[in-house]
Amino acid sequence: MKIRIAEDYDQMSTWAAELVAQQIKEKHNSVLGLATGSTPEGLYRLLVQMYQEGKLDFSHIITFNLDEYLGLAPTHPQSYAYFMHQHLLDHVNLKPENIHLPDGLAQDLDAFCQKYEEQIIAAGGIDLQVLGIGRNGHIGFNEPHHYLSVGTHTVRLTEDTIEANSRFFNSKDEVPHQAVTMGMGTILKAKKILLLANGKTKAKAIKDALCGRITTRIPASFLQLHRDITVIVDKEAASLL
Ligand code: GLP
């Protein structure tokens, strides 16, 4: 595990963008696993900038997003699909058929989850998975529980996550209680993982995930088992390491 401690959010985002750009340049048809949330916003802004400057080509890149709220249409401003279009997908030359976003409105969710796993396998597996971390140690929407699921699945969100994510909604009542997410197995099968975290609110989760025992109570602790993971955190998120 490589851990890099950045001065601040901007440096974290710059280092992350350099790593993703290197992946895209080394393999022009890379399969990228993408995360939402405030953490990777700076990374996406820099990737868009590199594309606009002619330094990156996404025309053969394939993307799979980590998760989505159940019940939110892609046109809903708080859906993760909307976030991805706003921050990255609409601003680079990704082919629409190469973009995969979990469908929070799928009629048959079990069939959707199975198909999503099959699509990832058919694409050759994820080359680089970008991850943020919840303040309770979740990755994607793999929430702390007495067990974790392997493949893409639906999940009931914890009170802590609903509370943490309510900052993006008008009120806590509007936050969906369920989501669809890649599973721990889907994430751990990625060839490379890039975990990002910034700010004091993530310090405990980062300490527990990277330095503690592996436990389903801290889903991110399973990342310690991965062979090729880079963690880029700012000073505040690293303050308990
Ligand atoms: C959300 C998402 C995660 C994300 C995390 C942190 O609930 N499901 O994929 O990494 O929480 O979000 P943020 O970056 O906004 O702190």
How does pLDDT run across 169-200, given as a tens digit for each residue?
Answer: 999 999 999 999 999 999 999 999 999 999 99
In ligand 1, the atom with minimum distance to the C-alpha of 157 is 7
C-alpha–C-alpha distance, residues 147 and 57, integer Å: 40
Active-site residue flag, 67: yes
In ligand 1, the atom with minimum distance to the C-alpha of 181 is 8
C-alpha–C-alpha distance, residues 210 and 131, integer Å: 14
Q: How far is the CA of 118 from the centre of ligand 1 (A)?
A: 25
The single residue of 103, 143, 208, 236 carrying the catalytic annotation is: 143
Q: CATH number, domain at 183? A: 3.40.50.1360
Q: How far is the CA of 87 from the centre of ligand 1 (A)?
A: 15
- 88-106 mean pLDDT: 97
C-alpha–C-alpha distance, residues 149 and 142, integer Å: 8
Active-site residue flag, 143: yes
141 lines ligand 1 (CB under 6 A): yes
> Pick from 46, 206, 80: which is nearest to 133 by CA?
206
Tens-digit pLDDT profile for residues 35-45: 999 999 999 99
Q: Answer yes or no: is 7 within a domain.
A: yes
Q: Answer yes or no: is 200 within a domain.
A: yes
Tens-digit pLDDT profile for residues 136-145: 999 999 999 9
Q: Answer yes or no: is 229 within a domain.
A: no
CB 55 within 8 A of CB 46: no
Q: Answer yes or no: is 240 within a domain.
A: no
Give the total number of structural domains in the chain: 1
Predicted confidence band of residue 129 (pLDDT cuts 50, 70, 90) = very high
Strands 62-65 and 99-100: parallel
Predicted confidence band of residue 155 (pLDDT cuts 50, 70, 90) = very high
CB 131 within 8 A of CB 193: yes
Q: Answer yes or no: is 174 within a domain.
A: yes
The single residue of 87, 127, 136, 236 carrying the catalytic annotation is: 136
154 lines ligand 1 (CB under 6 A): no
C-alpha–C-alpha distance, residues 172 and 186, integer Å: 30
Q: What is the pTM (predicted TM-score) of this model?
A: 0.97
Please tell me the predicted confidence (pLDDT) of residue 17: 98
C-alpha–C-alpha distance, residues 185 and 73, integer Å: 27
Joined together, the tokens standing for residue 36 give 């939402």
CB 189 within 8 A of CB 229: no
C-alpha–C-alpha distance, residues 179 and 51, integer Å: 31
Q: Answer yes or no: is 146 within a domain.
A: yes
Q: Answer yes or no: is 121 within a domain.
A: yes
Q: Answer yes or no: is 226 within a domain.
A: no
Q: Which domain holds residue 90?
A: 2-214
165 lines ligand 1 (CB under 6 A): yes
Nearest residue CA, atom 9 of ligand 1? 140
181 lines ligand 1 (CB under 6 A): no
Pocket test for ligand 1, best of 36, 196, 201 (most atoms within 8 A of CB): 36
